[in-house]
Amino acid sequence: MSRIWLDLVLILLVLTLLILQYSMFCRLQKLLRSQLIGRSMCKLIFFSAKTGANRLAGGLFKGKTLVYSDLKHVVLRILPKYIPEAEENAILVSSHIDSVFSTGGAGDCSSCVGVMLELARGISQWAHGFRNGVIFLFNTGEEEGLNGAHSFITQHPWRNTIRFAIDLEAMGVGGKSSIFQTSQSWGVETYANVAKYPSGQIVSQDLFLSGAIKSATDFQVYKEIAGLPGLDFAFIDSSAVYHTKNDMLKLLKPGSLQHLGENMLAFLLHAARSPDLYKMAVGSDDGKERNKPIYFDVLGMYMIVYPQHLASMLSNSVILQALLLWTTSLVMGGYPGVISFVLSFVCIILMWLLSLGLSVLVAFIIPLISSSPVPYIANPWLVAGLFGAPAVLGAIGGQHIGFLFLQKHLRKVISKRMENLSITQKENLVKWEAERWVFKSGLIQWLILLFIGNFYKVGSSYLALVWLVSPSFAYGLMEATLSPVRPPKQLKITTLFLGLTVPVLLSSGVVIKLVGTITGSLVRFDRNPGSTPEWLGNVILAAFIASIVCLMLVYLLSYVHISDIKGSIMLSVCALMVLTLIAIATGFFPTFTEDVARTVNVVHVVETNRGSAQSQEPSSYISLFSFTPGSLVEESVRLKDEGFECGRKNTLDFVSFTVKYGCLSFKDTDAGWSKSEIPSLDVESDSSADSRITRVLVDTKHSKRWSLAINTELISDFSFEVDSEELVPTGEKSSVDGRHIIQFAGGKNSPTRFHFNLIWRKNGTHQNNLESSPLLLKLRTDVNRVTPKVARVLEKLPRWCSLFGKSTSPYTLAFLTSLSADF
């Protein structure tokens, strides 16, 4: 009996323990929910975009219509739990999870996605104090023409709640994540105030918007289509790996992700708590040019932001004061002073001419002595010897020639004005006076640049302002006198340090980053392989470096002409240039490495033409080409058994670009594809009532990625139908080089049959009796498959070669089909 009671007691104890454990578990679960979820309402959805058309007007998209279908996005919205109005005002943080076929996309843009996931985790724990929601968009289709952002901002029901957009991008695998685009002041001012390590340059924005950098980001969609204000971030160090196999995790710099994450977390926490986000983000600037923000960081620690109207006011004030001072100085100096002014300006002109001339001359020489026209890609520091050294040599030489003419004039003036002095004293005065005029001539060139930048409202003209004001202040404080009677003295070193410290601190980082970006972009410089001269990229880089030398060293060089080290400097610079040229001529430094590869694309092409008589039998061949300047001799040597012939004999039209130099092989190209995959262009009707209209059925078979060129010299307009629904109506459409291009990219459930209604021009009907008929349509369909021949070629290529992917480039298997105008 006692044993039964003992068992009952034990059972009760066990039940009590279980109840206590369950109670503790429930309380712990409640605590966790209050920490992670109770403070916020998190909603995660998978958004599937329907078929749409993206017709952006500017940048890379002129003359194009981008069509998409079956895109899948991941969208996360975080709202404060007890503030329902926050649902109507949201901040969008966007990046893309897709990548091009040629890379793993560690930098572009898995790094951004990783940062966004960590931001979402952190944001969800602090949402209890938010006044606004935060939406994280992980979109696809960015690499095919910003389709993901377009589909979200035009189709998703949350699109109307977004008040501010942030886009995260990468064009490399390291460096600071900096603002390079913004559309109004509130966002960049808030970022400057709260970010731990703010980074951004209006210089980058000016270059990007000018088209000098051939790229586009989702921010263009948010700004152009939705009219949203926002910020666009990217890191760009090691940009040579962009869209190649080397955009991989082992080369990615963790510090870049940490930098982006810390800055963005601080910004989002502040912006999400703002009680009037809508008024500040959308209504503060009213789209006025005068309020465009001018922004730049100081050593990545502080950021200065001010509006365009303040920049204009400062520039106007400095320009007027400079003109007043120069006018006063010239009036007091009389005729000799005017001549000295003119001769000092001649020093500047000669400096530019010889600096540009020598560096550009080297740019022309490099392709003649090196196996590659861009032998510095893997070792960017070589540009210091190749282009920096001749630029400095030319700047010193050109300025010194003008200095000698200036001395000759001043010698006459001083001899008449100070007859009682000894010859040695007169010579010293001549040298010192000439030195001062050369120093002041540097102010003239920066004054001219400031005037031009201020006239055209160029944000980057803040650099001209700094390079003019700081040396002017130093010279006025340490050296200047308005009395022409007072004899000149030698310039003080203190003047140089005082005048150049601030400008160098503000400019050096920008210059280094720009030189690195230009150097890295030469890997993909030839957008139509073989269409640009091999020396062109070198000339652009040489001219840029020479310009930097002339602008930034103009004050320093004025100290050189009367010093004893002038000869040593010129000899050292010559030696550096010669040694660097010898190094690249002998191949001492490799042009490319496994980590910095040359872009070489290998495409198995199946081509057919559908004309009036009968369709041609398909022609199959392998095309080998490179977006990197230079010949394919070394690559073709390794492929000598594959039957490649290289040259410019056969121009290959890939619809979205043209290969004018490349290698072709017709050997063993029948395997890996079938005739059933060849797309078709079938004319269903051709009526000529009021105007000639041709209806064409496009069947891409299994391909979900294709490009179609429409001959706009024959066709004035068209409409585009998908599943009997008009997706692109008739209306004004732009063209480039006589073509309008349709680019389509979609998911696995995308349609493959489309209809075009082509409206001919009045004089566009082609006569059938001509020997050759122009193409009406040309279609390229892409298949992401490696055929046996392509596999062999890829295996034999050097390890420093990489496929390169972009929205216009084909996969490793492409079908070309054309329809003649005399169908």
Question: What does the pLDDT look like over 23-81, one tens digit per residue?
Answer: 543 553 444 344 444 456 889 999 999 999 998 877 788 999 999 999 999 999 999 98
Judged against a pLDDT cut of 50, whether residue 670 lies above it is answered with yes
Give residue 23's pLDDT: 56
Q: Which of 246, 208, 50, 52 is nearest to 145 (CA)?
A: 52
At 466 the three-state DSSP class reads helix
Mean pLDDT of 291-297: 93
**What is the distance between the alpha carbons of residues 252 and 89, in angstroms, rounded to a whole number?**
35
User: How confident is the model over 132-160, as a mean pLDDT?
Assistant: 96
Token pair in block for residue 196: 């731990």
3-state secondary structure 633-658: HHHHHHCHHHCCEEECCCCEECCCCE
Strands (DSSP E) contained in 299-403 are: 302-307
**Residue 559 confidence class, pLDDT cut points 50, 70, 90:** very high
Report whether pLDDT(630) > 70: yes
pTM summary value: 0.91
What confidence tens digit (pLDDT) does each residue in 561-612 have? 998 899 999 999 999 999 999 999 999 999 999 999 999 999 999 999 875 4
Q: Which two tokens stand for residue 694?
A: 């041709």
Residue 233 has which token pair? 């971030």
pLDDT, average across residues 684-694: 89
* pLDDT for residue 147 is more than 90: yes
pLDDT tens for each residue of 361-394: 999 999 999 999 999 999 999 999 999 999 999 9
Strand partners, 237: 174
Q: Regarding predicted confidence, which is higher, 30 or 447?
A: 447
> Which of the given ranges, 200-214, 469-483, 484-498, 501-515, has the highest pLDDT on average?
501-515
DSSP class of residue 807?
A: T
For 814, phi and psi rounded to 5 degrees?
-135, 140
Mean pLDDT value of segment 119-142 = 93
Per-residue model confidence as pLDDT tens digits over 219-253: 999 999 999 999 999 999 999 999 999 999 999 99
Q: How confident is the model at residue 291 (pLDDT cuts 50, 70, 90)?
A: confident
Binning pLDDT at 50, 70 and 90, where does residue 332 land? Answer: confident
Q: What is the pLDDT of residue 81?
A: 85
C-alpha distances (whole Å) from 43 to each of 156, 207, 272 are 14, 39, 17
Q: Which of 122-126, 290-294, 677-681 has the highest mean pLDDT?
A: 677-681
In three-state secondary structure terms, 262 is: helix
Lowest mean pLDDT among 51-55, 136-140, 226-230, 280-284: 280-284
pLDDT at position 312 over 50: yes
Q: What is the pLDDT, as a whole number, of residue 57?
A: 77
